[in-house]
Amino acid sequence: MSRIRLSDARPYSELLLCRVEGGLGMERKLTEMGLLPGEKIKRVDAPGDGQVILIIKGAKVAIGKGMADRIIVQECVNRKTIKVALAGNPNSGKTSVFNNLTGARQHVGNYPGVTVEKKEGLACYGDYAINITDLPGTYSLTAYSLDEIVARNFIINESPDIIINIVDASNLERNLYLTTQLMEFGIPMVIAFNMSDMFESTGFLADDKMLSVLLGADIVYTVGNKNKGTKELLEAAVKAYESGQNRKIISVNYGNEIEEEASKIINLLDSFNRAAINYPKRWTALKLLEDDKYILGLIKNQPSGDEIIKQVEAARARIKGIFADEAESLFADKRYGFINGVLREAITRKRESNLRISDNIDQIVANRIFGIPIFLAVMWLMFKAIFRLSEAPMRWIESVQAAAGGLAAALLPVENLARDFIINGVISGVGSVLVFVPVIFLLFFFMSLLEDSGYMARIAFIVDKFMHKIGLHGRSFIPMLLGFGCNVPAIMATRVIESKKDRLTTILVNPFMSCGARLPVYTLLIGAFFSNEVSGNVLFSLYLLGFLTAVIMAKVFRKFIFTGESAPFVMELPPYRVPTLKGLLIHMWERGWLYIKKAGTVIMLGCLIVWTLSVFPLSSKSDLTKSFIGMTGKAIEPIVRPLGFDWKIGTALVSGVVAKEIVVGTLGVLYGVGENSGTDIHSLKEALKKDSYPDGRPVFTPLIAYALMVFVLLYIPCLSTAAVIKKETGSWGWTAFSISYSTALAWMAAFIIYQGGRLFGL
Amino acid sequence: MPEEIISTAAHLSPGQKASIVKIEGRGYLRKRLLDMGVVPGSTIQMVRRAPLGDPIDVKIKGYHLSLRKSEASYIIVKRLA
């Protein structure tokens, strides 16, 4: 099969896109155009066109000659696509193998209807385009966790041609547990012994021929973080595909009693409507005996389901009678028994080696005395690094935005609506999306650093007791801490929390952690109404209040909404590993790009809406007080009056919905001390102090200022945060709930502070 | 013949090894423990407690697992006195 450059391909030839030269950036560019490896394209330009014109998925795309030079294609004769599912334990290095197989030719989506991430990618090998889906990392395939249900449903419903099973060779016994379950689907499997370098250095020897016979699958040695064995893995997958189903499918023998009961159930399943339940029969029978709620539910809904359920219950009772234990334990037992048999046959220990670097690191890092100080130092460093390193790029983005604004102003000298739209609508909207990008990218970089190195699990281990006390999970710690910087990345960071209850609780209370955007509001009001001696304490009290609110609300949610047992904390502490830069960058890019795409659209839209409301109706002649926003401010005055706020504050709060720092800018405009782009803080402070009602009462007092700060702290998460809440919960309901309950809470808190303060004569 | 003492994994002291007899309880926790290799007959070794005293870090099937004491108390073990 010859590979050629696209620029050399004959016109009207059917081509298969294989890879792109010129690094990540180039691949990304093409991915955006829909030019994915494995995609069939047709070249349709005539000589002399000056550019290469392609037909891809029925659409015409024109690209430059230079780009066409860098695209490697293959002339299709009889291309076949192989569908591969990539399975494996968490921490088995699956992600790095996936990255090696697909490079940057991957895209992230979601499994339909759930918030589980679905990564897909393509690899080319020989005449084949290999379509790889990265299943969620799981230890087993029960119906207890969403990840596991998603993984097994993919295998069953999408019927991949091949399963590539990534096994951590340095922890074979537990990793093969998932393997024994994957074998039961009857799909040809290739097993990648990943981290095989570790395996050899710990003094083991594997007889891979023997292993391959015992497990009924080809064995390939890979080292994910060194990109070893990638080609061999593809080769094995293609070989398994070509030799097809004639491989003997091996299954664990669960002992006479269980096998007997299973065959009875299989007989009943024979008469069953296969259209409704198309799972392999033996697998279904075993799952029923294992009391798998998901499969039980499916069977129950069938017309003749009751008969089967009765049979299953009787069988489970019989098994329990014989073994004095639940069937589940027996299954686990037999699987591990099978694994032990395999290991005894095929693995020899050359020498006893117990000296694991990882254990030594834990002696210090998870140590009773040093554990907490080390952890605090790491957190502090990460926090500092994220927000310090993002300062420069943020400033740079702001100055580019200002320059763009200036340029637009110069190009459009006539003051009109279009000009205003471009400068204050589009440019500042794009700016408010981009300004988060450095923080987000850095955050994801550090998050993957913690995750890939294995330290993340130790963090959960160290802080779980404290977090559990306040109604959260050990893994909620990082998102809560990041909330002090910015709630957007913080909420995205909740992905590491497995249990849905814990994750939702963490998402809902996260916005109370006072982020950086609220600081300008505090600075303005504290500077104007509090003396220098107390200003530090006032500021600290706000942060503390936010944190306490989060803790109290987490408790409330756990008690009233997410009731029931808290999720168990049964978590692997994986060996420490040195992460690869490539892996970190891919991870960072993926997540960051997703943010720009998803949250960006919503933020942009919100900014444009606020802009529209601030210039319309046109009769308002850019007088904010007469615009829709001003009208809204006036309309909500009765609502904020009990908090001591006038309509101007109301207006500022309305526009602050987009981003809390806009509160300052809006006050600036209302008090006529500067434009949107730059508010003169000093004169604004003076204006706030001087402002009074017609009867001479001051509009602002220290009490009102404090009530306002508390309101800004607690009310509605900013637009970007709301967008991310929608994205992460996948539900408008939770988003609406988050917005409404926090605003109600803010109102109550400000009410108590203002009215209470007045009682005390403040 | 040294005497065998039946207790739970939550009651082991750091460094102590024991053999798992049974997993109590039902539902998700039990299933999860079984999936993670906490099965009767395996050896479990208490490695350390977290700095705040909970959760604990145990070694099972050659890897480290952390779980809360409340969860470890479902793991019935026998250790040599």
Token representation of residue A662: 């806009």
Contact A414, A423 (CB under 8 A): no
Over residues A148-158, the mean pLDDT reads 90
- d(Cα A15, Cα A39) in Å, to the nearest integer? 8
Which residues in B lie closer than 8 A to residue A366 (C-beta atoms)? 48, 50-51, 57
Q: Is the pLDDT of residue A458 over 80?
A: yes
**Confidence at residue A35, expressed as pLDDT on a 0 to 100 scale:** 74
Q: What is the pLDDT of residues A204-261, one digit of tens each?
A: 788 888 989 999 899 999 998 888 999 999 999 999 998 875 667 788 999 998 999 9
Residue A740: CB partners within 8 Å, gap ≥ 6?
none
Chain B hits for A466, CB-CB cut-off 8 Å, are 52
Q: Which residue of A has its CA nearest to B63?
A: A171
Tokens of A681: 């803080």
Contact status of B55 with chain A (Cβ, < 8 Å): yes
Amino acid of residue A493? A
CB contact under 8 A, A573 and B64: yes
Res A382 pLDDT > 80 = yes
- E strand residue ranges, A569-619: 570-573
A254 vs B: CB within 8 A:
no
Residue A706 in tokens: 């404090």
As given in the structure block, the two tokens for residue A349 are 């220990």
Is A568 in CB contact (< 8 Å) with chain B? yes
CB spacing of B26 vs A326 below 8 angstroms: yes
Tell me the residue type at A272: F
The average pLDDT across A44-60 equals 77
CA distances from A234 to A40, A311, A546, A598, B72 (A): 20, 44, 52, 33, 42
Q: Distance from A272 to chain B by nearest Cα, in Å?
A: 28
Q: Does A173 touch chain B (CB under 8 A)?
A: yes
**How many CA atoms lie less than 13 Å away from A480 in the CB half-sphere?**
28
Question: Where residue A697 falls among pLDDT bands split at 50, 70, 90?
Answer: confident
Instruction: Look at residues A410, A556, A355, A388 and name the one whose alpha carbon lies nearest to residue A472.
Output: A556
Beta-bridge mates of residue A52: A63
- Of the candidates A737, A546, A746, which has an alpha carbon nearest to the alpha carbon of residue A639? A746
* Minimal Cβ distance to B35: which of A139, A368, A571: A139
A333 contacts on B by Cβ (under 8 Å):
39-41
The residue count for chain B: 81
What number of C-beta contacts closer than 8 Å exist between A and B? Answer: 119
pLDDT value at A198 more than 70: yes
- Does the beta-carbon distance from A140 to B35 stay under 8 Å? yes
Is A368 an 8 Å CB contact of chain B? yes
- Interchain CB contact of A372 with B (< 8 Å): yes
User: b or e along A513-547 (b: 16 or more beta carbons within 10 Å of the residue's beta carbon)?
Assistant: bbbebbebbbebbbebbbeeeeeeebbeebeebbb
More reliable by pLDDT, A734 or A10? A734
User: Which of B35, B51, B55 lies nearest to residue A372, judging by beta carbons?
Assistant: B51
Residues in chain B closer than 8 A to A325 (CB atoms): 22, 40
| pLDDT band at residue A678 using 50, 70 and 90 as cut-offs | very low
Subunit contact B29:A368, Cβ cutoff 8 A = no
> Which residue of A372, A466, A569 is in closest CB contact with B67?
A569
- Give this prediction's pTM: 0.79
Burial of A21 (0-12, 13-18, 19+ CB in 10 A): exposed
d(CA A695, CA A146): 62
Decide: helix, strand or coil at residue A178: helix
- Looking at residue B1, its pLDDT comes to 56
- B70: nearest CA partner in chain A: A568
Task: Give which of A717, A738, A722, A421 is closest to A598, Cα–Cα.
Answer: A722
Contact B61 A174 (CB under 8 A): yes
Put simply, the answer to whether A367 touches B51 (Cβ < 8 Å) is: yes
For residue range A272-301, list pLDDT tens digits in order: 766 667 778 888 899 999 988 888 988 888
Under the banding of pLDDT at 50, 70 and 90, the label for residue A663 is: confident
CB distance A571–B65 less than 8 Å?
yes
Which DSSP string do the residues of A307-332 spell out, in sequence order? HHHHHHHHHHHHHHHHHSS-HHHHHH
pLDDT at A355: 47
- Please name the residue of chain B whose CA is at the shortest distance from the CA of residue A364: B51
- Label residues A254-291 b or e (16+ Cβ within 10 Å = b): bbebbeebbeebeebbeebeeeebebbbbbbbbbbbbb
Residue type, A122: L
User: CA A493, A495, A500 angle in degrees (round to 5)?
Assistant: 130
**CA distance, residue B28 to nearest chain A CA (Å):** 6
Q: How far apart are CA A258 and CA A318, in angstroms?
A: 10
User: Phi, psi at residue A749, to the nearest 5°?
Assistant: -65, -45
Distance CA A167, CA A89 (A): 7
Range of weakest confidence among A352-361, A493-502, B17-26: A352-361
Would you state the structure tokens that stand for residue A564, as one six-digit string? 């029931």
Confidence at A713, pLDDT banded by 50, 70, 90: very high
Pairing of strands A71-75, B63-67: unpaired
Give mean pLDDT, residues A61-82: 77
Rounded CA-CA distance A401/A394 in Å is 10
A570 touches chain B (CB under 8 A): yes
Q: Do the beta carbons of residue A211 and residue A373 sit within 8 Å? A: no
| Secondary structure E strands in A508-662 | 570-573
Of A139, A573, A574, the CB nearest to B57: A573
The residue type at A689:
K
Which parts of A21-69 fold into alpha helices (H)?
Answer: 23-32, 65-69
What are the pLDDT digits (tens) for A717-738? 888 889 889 988 888 999 999 9
Q: In terms of Cα–Cα distance, which of A117, A124, A118 is closest to A36?
A: A124
A390 interfacial to chain B (CB closer than 8 Å): no
Token digits for A7?
Answer: 């620029």
What is the secondary structure of A81-101 as a DSSP string?
Answer: EEEEEEEE-TTSSHHHHHHHH
A510, A550 in Cβ contact below 8 A? yes
CB contact under 8 A, A333 and B40: yes
* C-beta atoms of B66 and A457 within 8 A: yes
From chain B, the residues in CB contact with A174 under 8 A are: 36-37, 61-63
Q: Which residue has the higher pLDDT, A253 or A498?
A: A253
The rounded Cα A327 to chain-centroid distance in angstroms is 36
* pLDDT for A1: 46
Contact A234, A125 (CB under 8 A): yes
Over 80: is that where the pLDDT of A24 sits?
no
φ, ψ dihedrals at A162, nearest 5°:
-140, 145
Give the count of beta carbons closer than 10 Å to the beta carbon of residue A201.
11
| A586 compared with A199, residue with greater pLDDT | A586
CB A193 within 8 Å of CB A291: no
Q: In what order do the strands lie in the sheet with A128-134?
A: A106-110, A117-125, A128-134, A80-88, A162-168, A189-194, A218-221
pLDDT at residue A78 is higher than 60: no
Q: How many residues does chain A have?
A: 762
Q: Do B22 and A366 touch (CB under 8 A)?
A: no
Question: Closest by alpha carbon to A480, among A499, A507, A455, A453?
Answer: A507
If phi over 0 gives left and psi between -120 and 50 gives alpha, with beta otherwise, what is residue A564? Answer: left
Q: Is A751 exposed, middle or buried (0-12, 13-18, 19+ CB in 10 A)?
A: middle
Q: What is the mean pLDDT of residues A468-478?
A: 86
Residue A325 to residue B61, Cβ atoms within 8 A:
no
Chunked into runs of 10 residues, chain B (81 residues) has average pLDDT values of: 82 93 86 91 93 94 92 91 61
CB atoms within 10 A of CB A436: 26
Mean residue pLDDT across chain A: 84
Say which of B30, B39, B64 has its CB closest to residue A572.
B64
A266 Cβ neighbours under 8 A, 6+ residues apart: A281, A282, A285
CB A443 within 8 A of CB A484: no
Which of A507-521, A618-632, A741-755 has the weakest average pLDDT? A618-632
Residue of A nearest to B52 (CA): A465
Q: How far is A395 from chain B (nearest CA, A)?
A: 41
Beta bridge partners of A82: A130
Calculate what percentage of chain A has a pLDDT beyond 90.
Answer: 27
Q: Do A570 and B36 touch (CB under 8 A)?
A: yes
β-sheet bridge partners, residue A132: A84, A121
Segment 8-47 of chain B within 8 Å of chain A by CB: 22-23, 26, 28-37, 39-42, 47
Sequence-ordered strand ranges (E) for A266-318:
none
Q: Which chain B residues touch A373 with a CB distance below 8 Å?
A: none
Task: Tell me the C-alpha distance between A319 and A265, whole Å.
Answer: 14
3-state helix, strand, coil split of chain B in percent (to 5) is 20, 45, 35
CA dihedral A93, A94, A96, A97 (to 10 degrees): 120
pLDDT tens string A588-621: 887 788 777 766 776 677 777 777 887 777 766 6
